[in-house]
A and B are shown apart, each in its own frame.
Chain A
Amino acid sequence: MNIDGMLATLLEWRVQFLLLGGVNFMLRHQPVLTYDLDVWVRPTAANLRRCEKALAALQAEWGRTESDWRPVAGRRPGWLGGQAVYCMICAGGALDVFLQVRGLGAWPSSRAVSVEVKTAAGIVCRGLSDRDMLRCQEALPDNERKADRIRTLRQALGEPP
């Protein structure tokens, strides 16, 4: 399984999410070195329960600590929701599930201005707009910002680099 597989599974389980991070940037602009898939899921109870099922189907593993690390399929429903981000390992690779994103407001607001992205395999989903991606970068500490992405995004938005 790869990124297409992970996206397809999320869509199959009707998870409402927005693509962000390196994969979103790569599909919209240019290649960047990234090895994980970042998704921002709508943090409603119903959507989080659907997401839990999708993650189980992806054979995701997660834990609060090393001793707590195990397949999420064995967790009690409702486990997803206690923290802002979950970094997990799936059959397709590394997956980061965000419930809130630094620099951005409520999920529906970003969804309203999101853009459609399509992979070469034909997987279609919604990704953060360039404006929101730039907000995410600018919200990071200086040493974590990716200058190349900021430059590309500002150029795409018609702003000075």
Chain B
Amino acid sequence: MTSTKQAAEALRERMWSPQARWRALQDTLTWAESQRGVSRRAVSVCLARQAHLLAGLRTVPLRRRSTARGRRRHA
């Protein structure tokens, strides 16, 4: 069914005028923003997103700060 759905979606994309598609997308985004509790500014959403991003960043080593002594050495 997945390939059938993909084909059906592709057909719709071809038949949808870019202007109408853009308007629908804007309307949907506006609608999504208006839903209670799912605003991108909701505290729970921010904290969840932060935790997710931090989990990914923990695998990246922090760069050592350059010091004044180090800068003079390389001057």
A contact set with B: CB distance below 8 Å: 1-4, 26-27, 29-31, 34-36, 61, 63, 65-66, 69, 83-89, 92-94, 96, 100, 102, 119-121, 140-141, 144
Q: Which chain A residues lie closer than 8 Å to B28 at the CB level?
A: 2-3, 34-36, 93
Interface of B is mostly: helix
Q: Which residues of B come within 8 Å of A, CB atoms? A: 1-2, 4-5, 8-9, 11-12, 14-16, 20, 24-25, 27-32, 34-36, 38-40, 44-45, 48
A102 touches B2 (CB 8 A): yes
Report yes or no: B31 in contact with A3, Cβ–Cβ below 8 A: yes
Q: Is the CB of B48 within 8 A of A92?
A: no
Interface majority SS (helix, strand, loop, mixed), chain A? loop
Partner of A93 from B1, B14, B24, B38 at Cβ < 8 Å: B24
Chain B residues within 8 Å of A93, by CB: 24-25, 27-28
Contacts of A27 in B (CB 8 A): 35, 38
6 contacts between A and B (CB under 8 A): A84-B4, A85-B4, A85-B5, A85-B8, A87-B5, A93-B27
On whether the beta carbons of A84 and B45 are closer than 8 Å, the reply is no
Could you tell me if A66 and B14 are in contact, using CB atoms closer than 8 angstroms?
yes
C-alpha gap A66/B15 in the complex (Å) = 7
Expressed in whole angstroms, the minimum distance between the Cβ of B30 and any Cβ of chain A is 7
Q: In the complex, are the beta carbons of B32 and A31 less than 8 A apart?
A: yes
> Nearest residue in B to A65 (C-beta to C-beta)?
B11
> Which of A30, A63, A87 is close to B48, meaning CB atoms less than 8 Å apart?
A30
Q: A2-B31, A31-B39 are in contact. List 10 more A-B contacts (CB 8 A).
A: A30-B45, A34-B28, A65-B11, A69-B15, A86-B8, A93-B27, A96-B5, A100-B1, A120-B34, A120-B36
Partner of B12, one of A83, A88, A102: A88
